[in-house]
Amino acid sequence: MDKRQRADLFRTRLVTAIARAGTNQSVLARRTGVDRSTISQLLRDDAARLPNAHVVGACATALGVSADWLLGLAEHPENAADLLASALTLTNAPRAFVDQQIFDWHREAEGYKIRHVPAALPDMLKTNEVLGWEYGPHLGRTAAQAITASANRLAWMRQSASDYEIAMPLYELDSFVAGTGYYDGLSLDLRRQQIDHWLDLSKALYPRMRIYLFDARRLFSAPITVFGPLLSVIYVGSNYLAFRDTQRVRAFSDHFDHLVREAHITARAFPDHLAQLRNSMA
């Protein structure tokens, strides 16, 4: 970018910043200690020169934006402190499968690929009976209402423009089929119904929904969700740790892609693997 182009960009962004701040040239001149004529010159269409560093810094401070953004050296108008505050957030994660925050993030990222490593089996793919067994003791009277809301989430996913990739460790599905570990106490009939339901969904939603199984003895992943290029989220139990900065979102995307490349069961092979597990249930 040559000096003329950078001067044009500076003028455009200064006009934008003044409008966003709801102020005017006179107020900006007063806040910066710069002559009003100087501000007017910066905003002229034929202005071909950039102001000195003092004026740029004063304008940025007065308007609540970063000097780098005004000069075209950054894509975000926020200053460093605001960027840091928005890049990492800690959000409450209630013990319920109808989580409005997660749903809002899904809607925000509609149209982008969504990559997901669930903490257990994906809630939106569970039968009502399995959801009731899992969450009923914790949700009490609201369990039925929550199950209805979960069905609505699945219906939304069916018509969404997003592609979904889900990666899980092999042992999660093996534990479910055997009714051991986390799934101890879940009846055989409910487990069979769940596998049948999952078989139907895996065929009906493929290729928009692709499920991969990786070997946890070779690879490990915490529960994460990557919402396109917008944000990545780690589930830590009572909270979500959400990142919006490009570098970390890309790092989590790369991590998920590694799980897919090293998957023991690919998305194409998943239905056959699931059918084999179903036939093995005694």
- Nearest partner of 208 among 253, 154, 273, judged by Cα: 154
Q: What is the pLDDT of residue 87?
A: 55
pLDDT number for residue 81: 53
Report the DSSP pairing between strands 88-92 and 209-214: unpaired
CA dihedral 122, 127, 133, 135 (to 10 degrees): 50
Q: Provide the pLDDT for residue 97.
A: 45
Token code pair at residue 16: 């934008």
- Does 207 sit behind a cis peptide bond, omega within 30 degrees of 0 on the bond before it? yes
pLDDT, position 48: 66
Helix (H, G, I), strand (E, B) or coil at 257: helix
Q: What is the pLDDT of residues 205-226, one digit of tens each?
A: 999 999 999 999 999 999 999 9
Cα–Cα distances (Å) from 63 to 25, 26, 30, 58, 161, in that order, read 11, 13, 12, 9, 38
The type of residue at 257 is D
What's the mean pLDDT in 105-121?
Answer: 92
pLDDT digits (tens, 9 = 90+) for 144-185: 776 777 777 778 778 888 899 999 999 999 999 999 999 999
d(CA 270, CA 263): 11
What does the pLDDT look like over 18-39, one tens digit per residue?
Answer: 998 899 999 999 999 999 998 9
Tokens of 255: 């991590």
> d(Cα 84, Cα 166) in Å, to the nearest integer?
30
Instruction: Using the CB atoms, write b or e for 146-182: b if 16+ within 10 Å.
Output: bbebbeebeeebeebebebbbbbbbebbebbbbbeee
Q: State pLDDT tens for residues 235-261.
A: 988 888 988 888 889 999 999 999 999
| Amino acid letter for position 126 | K
The pLDDT mean for the chain works out to 86
